[in-house]
């Protein structure tokens, strides 16, 4: 079993290696890939040093699985080349998510659609993953009609330079800026580029990806995505309207029995999900569960998850595990 991790020096790449170690991910050979300036450097994994190699060399290995976390342009260029060699590419970028010939997978929700000839598999957007994890079991029972979501997303979603900008600003250092405005002690209603419809790409990702994962294009979805000065953990205020009515006790029971979801909802004792509590954890945390008293058949949820874990690295590793467990690797 040959495994390749592309983008091994980035925030998500480092988290992928951490998740693989924690989950005791099985392989015979591991190869780490990064940008040309990092080729030849070493990364320590499980007390063993691995030398970083380039894309051409990695592609020629004809590995069993390659987990990509190196940006959309890299994925568009290289994923097909790896796939031609028979490698299963699990891609963290947005490059293949809405390609009708590629599957967009959250294993707990739609892993069953994967087949042995799937060679490029898309990992959804971090904010989409945590929302659908909470809503999928409710959609099965009550059928979603409309979702209104506002996100409060960590700077780690932008990468190492964004974390550095936050820390620089916090320490009074005039350093490199990746955001158009100050992020410390601020909130930016601007994630990814603005589109002609006035929404950002991040907001429209949540619309299109949610429909694709849940297999229902009839769901009305609108999103506002906001960058906030937290490190590790995206939060979402989700307002979900259903075709069928629900009772809160059953909603709680469904969520409590959903693998990968943890209900944290005891407002009398000030217990609810917060990004600081989600850091380093793979679960999606749900709280503030209550009816929307302004609209029938409508539910309010507060959903929090570590965007580098279930929002990216963990989900990608879980897809690889699923393909291996189901003997979909050849």
Q: Which one of the listed residues 59, 112, 181, 234 is annotated catalytic?
A: 234
Residue found under tokens 């004792």: 269
CA distance 119 to 96: 12
Q: Which one of the listed residues 126, 139, 190, 208 is annotated catalytic?
A: 126
The helix/strand/coil state of 223 is: strand
Residues in the chain: 330
DSSP secondary structure letter of residue 159:
-
The helix/strand/coil state of 228 is: coil
Q: List C-alpha distances in Å: 72 to 34, 35, 160.
A: 14, 14, 17
Helix H segments across 228-295?
248-256, 275-278
CA distance 19 to 23: 6
- Tokens, residue 208: 């299109």
The answer to whether 83 and 62 are in contact (CB under 8 A) is no
Q: What burial class does residue 49 get, using C-beta atoms within 10 Å of its C-beta: 0-12 exposed, 13-18 middle, 19+ buried? A: exposed
Q: Strand pairing of 2-6 and 65-68?
A: parallel
**59 carries an active-site annotation:** no
Which of 133, 132, 141 is closest to 247 using CA atoms?
141
Q: Would you name the residues annotated as active-site residues?
A: 126, 234
């Amino acid at each position: 079993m040959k495994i390749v991790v592309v983008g091994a020096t980035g925030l998500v790449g480092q988290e992928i290696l951490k998740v693989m170690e924690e989950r005791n991910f099985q392989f015979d050979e591991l190869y780490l890939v990064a940008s040309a300036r990092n080729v030849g450097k070493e990364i320590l994994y499980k007390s063993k040093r691995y030398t970083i190699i380039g894309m051409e060399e990695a592609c020629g290995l004809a590995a069993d699985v390659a987990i990509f976390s190196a940006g959309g342009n890299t994925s568009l260029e290289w994923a097909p080349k790896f796939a031609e060699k028979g490698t299963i590419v699990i891609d963290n970028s947005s490059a293949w998510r809405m390609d009708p010939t590629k599957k967009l997978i959250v294993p707990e929700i739609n892993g069953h659609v994967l087949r042995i000839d799937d060679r490029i598999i898309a990992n959804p957007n971090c904010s989409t993953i945590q929302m659908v994890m909470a809503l999928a079991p409710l959609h099965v029972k009550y059928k979603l009609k409309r979702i209104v979501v506002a996100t409060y997303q960590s700077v780690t979603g932008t990468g190492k330079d964004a974390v550095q900008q936050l820390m620089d600003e916090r320490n009074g250092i005039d350093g490199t800026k990746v955001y158009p405005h100050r992020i410390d002690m601020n909130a930016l209603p601007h994630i990814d580029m603005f589109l002609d419809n006035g929404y950002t790409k991040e907001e429209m990702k949540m619309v299109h990806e949610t429909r694709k994962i849940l297999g229902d294009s009839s769901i009305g979805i609108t999103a506002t995505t906001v960058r906030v000065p937290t490190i590790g953990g995206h939060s979402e205020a989700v307002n979900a309207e259903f075709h069928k009515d629900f009772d809160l006790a059953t909603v709680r029971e469904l969520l409590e029995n959903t693998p990968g979801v943890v209900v944290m909802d005891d407002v009398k004792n000030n217990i609810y999900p917060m990004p600081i509590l989600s850091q380093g954890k793979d679960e999606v945390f749900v709280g503030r569960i209550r009816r929307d008293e302004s609209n029938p058949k409508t539910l309010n949820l507060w959903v929090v998850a570590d965007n580098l874990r279930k929002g990216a690295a963990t989900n990608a590793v879980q897809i690889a595990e699923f393909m291996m467990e189901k003997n979909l690797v050849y």
